[in-house]
Amino acid sequence: MLEVISQQDLPTVLLIDDDMVSREVMATMLTMSGYAVHTAAGGAAALELLAGQECKPAVILMDAQMPGLSGLPLMKQLRASSRARIYVISASGTPEEIVSAADGFLLKPFPPEALTRLIAEQEAQMHPPAAPGLDPEETVVNPEILAQLREMMPGTALRQIFEAILSDLECRTAALEIAIAKQDWAEARRIGHAVKGGSAMAGAVQLARLGAAIESGVLEVPVNQPDNSILILSDLRAAAQNLQRMLEVEFKA
């Protein structure tokens, strides 16, 4: 469920590593991938850099084992000096207490996309897609699109289109329940895309929005977040009922 991070969105990085070769190789690779990178040869140098206010990173990469100020004491001072996320980097085993205290861990050598993926995963956990919910004031069908369709075809044909959408939605909702039970999020996204596409063409605003939310990954909440699948399925059925009521009003027999 990860969104692509553009180069404009890449955070500034402070890289702390006492090994000059490792530091320069990592800094060069990250810079070539679009990151703005500051480097420090150790913990004391990093704190001095932060104190100067010239370096304001969003991410700090710190080697797990360095001479002098390192490990948990360094991490504590970094958190006091910056609001950046701290990711521990190491070429070997790292004490569990250091990994647990950090915001993330990367095993050296790592490609730049590994850092990008780690950032994206944490963004998704911190800002999961909002549960849809139905607004009672929300438009069921876009009146402009409905008017355009009325000009293009007789009422009986137009009603058949909306009835076909409702029939298809019933099948897709049942398929979505199965996908949720299996945690098949790729299939859930596919179903959401299909619901969004057909509904949007006919101007069914509520259904199109719900389909877009499902396609975006709203069902794939992190394990520490409440499951909102029951709410989303309920919203789909409520939106279908709203569309059915619209048909009864707009296309009286």
Cβ neighbour number for residue 218 with a 10 Å cutoff = 23
Query: Are 7-126 and 143-250 the same fold in CATH?
Result: no
CATH fold of 7-126 reads Rossmann fold (3.40.50)
Calpha distance 25→228 (Å, rounded): 44
- Give pLDDT tens digits along the chain (253 positions): 333 344 446 889 999 999 999 899 999 989 988 889 999 999 999 999 999 878 889 999 999 889 999 899 999 999 999 989 999 998 877 788 888 889 888 888 888 888 888 887 776 665 555 545 677 778 899 999 989 988 999 888 998 999 999 999 999 999 999 999 998 989 999 999 999 988 998 899 999 999 998 988 888 765 455 567 888 898 999 999 999 998 888 876 5
Q: Tell me the CATH architecture of domain 143-250.
A: Up-down Bundle (1.20)
Q: Domain limits of the chain?
A: 7-126, 143-250
Q: How far is CA 13 from CA 8, 9, 69, in A?
A: 14, 12, 19
Spatial neighbors of 202 by CB under 8 A, at least 6 apart, are 141, 145, 149, 161, 162, 165
pTM: predicted TM-score of the whole model, two decimal places: 0.51
